[in-house]
Amino acid sequence: MAAPSPALLDSLAALLGPKGFTRDCDAMTPWLTDWRGRFHGRAAALIAPATREEVAQAVRLCASGGVPLVPQGGNTSMVGGATPDASGHALILSLRRMNRIRSLDPEANLAVCEAGVVLANLHEAAQAAGRRFPLSLAAKGSATVGGLVSTNAGGTQVLRFGNMRRLVQGIEAVLPDGSLFDGLTALRKDNRGYDLTQLMIGAEGTLGIVTAASLKLVPAIGSRVVAWVGLATPVAALALLRQLEDRMGGAVESFELVPQGALDLVLAHIPGTRPPLARRHEWHALVEAAAPVGAPSPEPALVEALGAGELVEDAVIAASEAQADAFWRLRESIAEAEKQDGPAVKHDISVAVPDMPGFLVEAAAAVERDFPGVRVNAFGHLGDGNIHFNVRAPAGTDAGWIEGAGAEVSHRVYDLVTAAGGSISAEHGIGQMKLGEFARLGGAARLAALRAIKGALDPAGIMNPGKLVPPPPLAENRR
Ligand code: MLT
Ligand code: ZN
């Protein structure tokens, strides 16, 4: 892949002006490393167009020079998806200046957002209009719409509202040749063949640059109830979720599984946090139920459901919004606390929902037996069959563990997941972190189709190279 020529860099600087173009090391440094500090890259320049037309022209210039582009939003990828490689040939294409909510229509239940709109800002704008964008995750203060679309993000409300695939009505994107695909439709039905919007969702910037998305809104929350529950096993947790759904239907929005070990990490590393329950429990669940404005509060039904049966060891209902937020802070700080604690390998995996409790217990036992000293920290979205099956290094190990023994641990975890019919990426994507394992376990048909699509839309391979699409095996390369 070519490095940009001085003439190309001059053209980009002239096109984008000083706010949209920099080669300054200090300005670029924060964007050359991923959130966890695991991947470090170099870039020839950072470009930050302010409009879709500027994106299109910049892409055309790069396409003519065969220069790679690495799109970046909030830089919150968990798989190194927005970090360039070490060659220094790529340009980082930051979408952060494209941060306008172009329209928010409560009648149509749609918000058209540019790629750089931060999720928390969209939440606020929707709420001010009596609506809600029902996708939330711990990185909501930094994660941007373009990244959420490009990774098909999930989060803590997928249980009720689905992931980005379900919440995107249409997108606008600049394709690798610089042409503009305008799919920002308000049409609820559109059957003109291949669905380009869905193809770009989860493509991790390998097929083009998402510049805007039209996102589905739902009614604002009128009342919510948040509970913290102590449980003995993941089996009990899933059984409780099903009981709650039987009694409360679609009101249950979130059901997050937290082991005592993860809670301990948060309490140790995140200032101002306190144990939610009086005693320790092997497992915990954070439950949220909500009702729209004018509908009865879900609280009595949740209190009754938690009180019925033998599954719950202990439970507390948040007595105020502040306490509800404090419960959520415990859950949403797990990744940060784990990072502060020391090296760990992350495995964002899924298996069929009914299989997850058994998988969790058996896989944890197998990994802890085969790799003495490691500590499984498995938490997350039980109701989606998606758990972050993270494995912490033995105490006192340095960061080098991740690439050495940690890689062997990952190998083992992904073998176990594959044997259970699961996926090695449930919501974080493949990025660069999982490229090798995806090549190993993705399956011939899936990988061939991915490569064919990539080759058709981006024949020069300039869009986010080295991410998501594993290169073909050497034998195929030679043909
Ligand atoms: C979460 O649900 O907190 C994340 O996706 C983070 C993680 O995998 O560590
Ligand atoms: Zn998650």
pLDDT at 188 (0 to 100) = 81
Burial class (CB in 10 A: 0-12, 13-18, 19+), 327: buried
Atom of ligand 1 nearest to the CA of 332: 3
Q: Are 406 and 288 in contact (CB under 8 A)?
A: no
Q: How far is the CA of 154 from the centre of ligand 2 (A)?
A: 7
Burial class (CB in 10 A: 0-12, 13-18, 19+), 37: exposed
Q: Is the CB of 429 under 6 A from ligand 1?
A: no
Q: Tokens 């879709």 correspond to what residue?
A: 52
Query: pLDDT tens, 259-308?
Result: 999 999 999 999 999 999 999 999 999 999 999 999 999 999 999 999 98
pLDDT at 359 (0 to 100) = 98
Q: How far is the CA of 426 from the centre of ligand 2 (A)?
A: 9
Q: Is the CB of 140 under 6 A from ligand 1?
A: no
Q: Is the CB of 256 under 6 A from ligand 1?
A: no
* Cα–Cα dist 314/110, whole Å: 41
- One fold for 221-335 and 342-429: yes
Q: Is the CB of 78 under 6 A from ligand 1?
A: yes
Q: How far is the CA of 427 from the centre of ligand 2 (A)?
A: 7
What fold does the segment set 221-335 form as a domain?
A: Alpha-Beta Plaits (3.30.70)
User: Across the chain, what does the average pLDDT equal?
Assistant: 96
Residue to mutate (ligand 1; options 38, 77, 78, 270; most atoms within 8 A of CB)? 78
pLDDT (average), residues 241-265: 96
Class of domain 101-219: alpha beta
Q: Is the CB of 380 under 6 A from ligand 1?
A: yes
Residue to mutate (ligand 1; options 348, 381, 384, 389; most atoms within 8 A of CB)? 348
Q: Is the CB of 346 under 6 A from ligand 1?
A: yes
Which tokens hold the place of 22? 């920099």
pLDDT at 63 (0 to 100) = 98
Query: pLDDT tens, 158-215?
Result: 999 999 999 999 999 999 999 999 999 878 888 999 999 999 999 999 999 999 999 9
pLDDT at 459 (0 to 100) = 97
Which tokens hold the place of 232? 């003995």
Query: pLDDT tens, 351-391?
Result: 999 999 999 999 999 999 999 999 999 999 999 999 999 99
CATH ID of 6-94, from 3.30.43.10, 1.10.3720.10, 3.50.30.30, 3.60.70.12:
3.30.43.10
Q: How far is the CA of 162 from the centre of ligand 2 (A)?
A: 13
Residue to mutate (ligand 1; options 388, 391, 425; most atoms within 8 A of CB)? 388
CA dihedral 421, 424, 429, 430 (to 10 degrees): -130
ipTM given for this complex: 0.95
* Cα–Cα dist 200/93, whole Å: 17
Q: How far is the CA of 153 from the centre of ligand 2 (A)?
A: 9
* Cα–Cα dist 112/104, whole Å: 6
Residue 475 has pLDDT above 80, yes or no: no
Residue to mutate (ligand 1; options 38, 77, 136, 137; most atoms within 8 A of CB)? 137
pLDDT at 479 (0 to 100) = 52
Instruction: Kindly indicate the confidence band of residue 120, based on its pLDDT and cuts at 50, 70 and 90.
Output: very high
Q: Is the CB of 70 under 6 A from ligand 1?
A: no
Q: How far is the CA of 295 from the centre of ligand 1 (A)?
A: 32
Atom of ligand 1 nearest to the CA of 428: 5
Q: How far is the CA of 98 from the centre of ligand 2 (A)?
A: 26
Q: How far is the CA of 428 from the centre of ligand 2 (A)?
A: 8
Closest-CA residue, ligand 1 atom 9, reads 335
Q: Are 466 and 83 in contact (CB under 8 A)?
A: no
CB atoms within 10 A of CB 14: 9
Entry field: residues in the chain:
479
pLDDT at 474 (0 to 100) = 73
Atom of ligand 1 nearest to the CA of 331: 3
Q: Is the CB of 334 under 6 A from ligand 1?
A: yes
How do the domains of the chain map onto residue ranges? 6-94, 101-219, 221-335, 342-429
Q: How far is the CA of 254 from the centre of ligand 2 (A)?
A: 12
The CATH code of the domain at 342-429 is: 3.30.70.2740
